[in-house]
Structure 1
Amino acid sequence: MGYKNAASILPPDLLSRVQNFHTGMLWVPKTQPKYYEDRNRRIMQLKQSGLTDAQIAREVGLSIRQVKRIISFIRNGAGSEI
Structure 2
Amino acid sequence: MGYKNGRDILPPSLLKQLQDYISGEIIYIPKKEQTRAGWGENNGTRQTILRRNHEIYRLYENGTSVPELIKKYHLSEDSIRKIIVKTRGGAARQR
Q: TM-score, normalised by structure 1?
A: 0.52
The equivalent residue for 1:50 is 63
The equivalent residue for 1:76 is 89
The equivalent residue for 1:60 is 73
Distance (Å, rounded) in 2 between the aligned partners of 1:53 and 1:47: 7
Between structure 1 and structure 2, the one with the greater Rg is: 2
Which 5+ residue runs of structure 2 have no aligned equivalent? Answer: 1-32
Which 5+ residue runs of structure 1 have no aligned equivalent? Answer: 1-8, 11-28
The 5 A counterparts of 1:1-82 are 33-77=46-90
- Which runs of structure 1 show a deviation greater than 6 angstroms over 4 or more consecutive aligned residues? none
Please report how far the alpha carbon of residue 40 of structure 1 lies from its aligned counterpart in structure 2 after TM superposition.
0.5
Q: Give the total of aligned pairs.
A: 55
Please report how far the alpha carbon of residue 76 of structure 1 lies from its aligned counterpart in structure 2 after TM superposition.
2.0
Partner SS state of residue 77, structure 1: helix
In 1, are the aligned partners of 2:57 and 2:88 still within 8 Å (CA)?
A: no
